[in-house]
């Protein structure tokens, strides 16, 4: 039996996860719901701090019958309580997100599902390719409730595992994914106590990765690199200044908090640590939220988390094959040495007002996406009284950030338009 939320939770209700209004319940109650969800799935959760002495992260591994589940590992960032809750829910997200729900897959013609006005990189490839059957899932527009089938290749890399080839064929999916698979990654997956919680965090993640992609376009693909907007540390609120200081002390290098907010108007930050010459800048942290304070906090705590895990944990899986070395400009994007080329412009940190509830956050995010010509589509993977895991897709937002993993990808229509705007702005200036 799981303990009740009043007797068994170890988190504090004042943790970082509740301050920005993005969560429906406090950390105590989230911890209790997460443990109940683990029990209902027939799993056990093993959590530990990393490193043990002064943790910058917590790691959770899910087990079934005493054996670890293949993908049920998650890491949490933030202060102690928030990190444990985050690790638990991320492990649940990874566990459920990696199990392809084959019984819910629909097969549709590629050209039918690829019709899209946004110029999404993957959908454009499918529209230009053969009109063959491919696996899809039924998504719902979070703004108006309309329905649409979207290809699994958008956000479920595990669907393309060689071990599922026979299952895909049995479904009638005969599509050749060789051109599109390089753009496939697990973006927009999120877990929460409620579906609204999860949707907020999924949209924030998509916005964050879009912002990262456009920043790479600005710095490495524009004819003249756009100025890098780096926050002056002395303008940070006390709690963020303390986080920034701790990050510098841990990594023993400069930490640049880069403002990468885009035209969507959702504050987004990249905590960047310069790497050695020719080495990719992999120790980084990023965050997006309607609360600028929360977005910056998320970037800095993720940097601390990634540094802690990279320093004290064995590499969980082989690195993705590097495919950019023969392409000079794309390889510079892979290395992501943001502070190398171009000007650096120091800016003051500016906090923003944010809604007080998850529904308020979701409504505001959807409104900003809609005004920019984008819609968010959600597919509920698993929803109970204790846990919601869902995937959100926002066609048209950029996934060029995959280049930092060594994938040979190009920006979509949005990235190209952003590059053209950078060119025009520099010419006009």
Short-list 115, 74, 99, 101, CA closest to 396: 115
Q: Using pLDDT thresholds of 50, 70 and 90, give the confidence band for residue 151.
A: very high
Residue 15, pLDDT score: 37
Structure tokens at 243: 């986080």
pLDDT band at 5 (very low <50, low <70, confident <90, very high): very low
Q: What is the pLDDT of residue 426?
A: 65
**159 CB-side CA count, 13 A:** 31
Rounded mean pLDDT, 393-417: 95
Inter-CA distances, 166 with 102, 128, 163, 169, Å: 12, 26, 7, 5
Asked if omega into 419 is within 30° of 0 (cis), the reply is no
Whether pLDDT at 311 is above 90: no
Report the predicted TM-score, pTM, of the whole model to 2 decimal places: 0.93
Residue 52, pLDDT > 60, answer yes
pLDDT surpassing 90 at residue 12 = no
- CATH 3.30.160.660 boundaries in the chain: 189-428
The predicted structure's pLDDT at residue 429: 57
The confidence score (pLDDT) of residue 266 equals: 98
What does the alpha-carbon distance between residue 145 and residue 142 come to, in Å, rounded to a whole number? 6
At 428 the pLDDT is 63
Q: How far apart are CA 293 and CA 236, in angstroms?
A: 9
For residue 83, count CB atoms less than 10 angstroms from its CB and return exposed for 0-12, middle for 13-18, buried for 19 or more: buried
CATH 3.30.420.40 corresponds to the domain 189-428: no
Task: Give the span between the Cα atoms of 301 and 128, in whole angstroms.
Answer: 41
Give the pair of three-digit tokens for residue 264. 């969507």
Q: What is the pLDDT of residues 184-213, one digit of tens each?
A: 999 999 999 999 999 999 999 999 999 999
Residue 143 banded pLDDT, cuts 50, 70, 90:
very high
Supply the pLDDT for residue 55: 76
Can you tell me the distance from the alpha carbon of 256 to that of 190, in angstroms, rounded to the nearest whole number? 27
Task: Identify the pLDDT of residue 3.
Answer: 42
Residue 407: its pLDDT value, please? 93
Residues near 393 by beta carbon (within 8 Å), at least 6 away in sequence: 139, 150, 154, 155, 188, 206, 376, 377, 379
The chain-wide mean pLDDT, for the chain, equals 91
- Residues 327, 174: Cα–Cα separation, whole Å: 32
Task: Give the model's pLDDT for residue 70.
Answer: 87
| Residue pair 324/334 in contact by the 8 Å Cβ criterion | yes
Under CATH, what is the fold of the domain 27-98? Answer: Double Stranded RNA Binding Domain (3.30.160)
pLDDT score of 11: 31
């Amino acid at each position: 039996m799981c303990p009740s939320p009043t007797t068994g939770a170890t988190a504090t209700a004042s943790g970082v996860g509740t301050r920005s209004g993005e969560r429906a319940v406090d950390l105590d109650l989230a911890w209790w719901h997460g443990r109940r969800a683990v029990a209902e799935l027939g799993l056990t959760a093993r959590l530990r701090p990393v490193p043990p002495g002064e943790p910058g992260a917590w790691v959770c591994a899910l087990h079934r019958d005493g054996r670890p589940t293949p993908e049920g590992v998650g890491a949490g960032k933030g202060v102690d309580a928030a990190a444990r809750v985050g690790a638990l829910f991320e492990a649940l997200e990874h566990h459920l997100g990696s199990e392809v729900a084959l019984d819910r897959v629909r097969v549709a013609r590629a050209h039918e599902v690829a019709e899209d006005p946004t110029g999404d990189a993957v959908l454009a490839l499918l529209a230009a390719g053969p009109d063959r059957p491919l696996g899809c899932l039924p998504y719902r527009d979070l703004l108006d409730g309309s329905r649409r089938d979207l290809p699994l290749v958008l956000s479920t890399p595990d669907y393309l595992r060689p071990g599922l080839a026979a299952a895909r064929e049995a479904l009638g999916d005969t599509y050749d994914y060789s051109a599109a698979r390089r753009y496939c990654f697990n973006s927009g997956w999120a877990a929460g106590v409620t579906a609204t919680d999860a949707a907020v965090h999924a949209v924030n993640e998509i916005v964050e990765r879009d912002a990262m992609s456009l920043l790479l376009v600005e710095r490495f693909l524009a004819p003249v690199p756009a100025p890098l907007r780096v926050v002056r540390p002395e303008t940070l609120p006390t709690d963020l200044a303390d986080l920034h200081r701790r990050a510098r002390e841990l990594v023993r290098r400069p930490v640049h908090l880069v403002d990468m907010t885009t035209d969507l108007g959702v504050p987004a930050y990249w905590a960047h640590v310069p790497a050695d010459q020719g080495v990719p800048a992999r120790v980084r942290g990023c965050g997006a939220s309607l609360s600028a304070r929360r977005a910056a906090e998320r970037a800095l705590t993720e940097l601390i988390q990634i540094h802690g895990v990279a320093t004290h944990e064995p590499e969980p899986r082989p690195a993705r094959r590097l495919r950019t070395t023969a392409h000079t400009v794309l390889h510079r994007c892979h290395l992501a040495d943001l502070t190398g080329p171009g000007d650096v412009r120091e800016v003051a940190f500016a906090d923003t007002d944010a809604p007080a509830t998850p529904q308020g956050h979701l409504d505001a995010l959807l409104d900003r996406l809609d005004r920019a010509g984008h819609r968010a589509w959600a597919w509920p993977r698993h929803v109970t009284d204790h846990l919601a895991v869902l995937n959100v897709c926002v066609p048209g937002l950029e996934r060029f950030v995959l280049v930092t993993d060594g994938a040979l990808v190009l920006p979509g229509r949005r990235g190209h338009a952003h590059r053209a705007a950078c060119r025009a702005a520099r010419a006009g200036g």
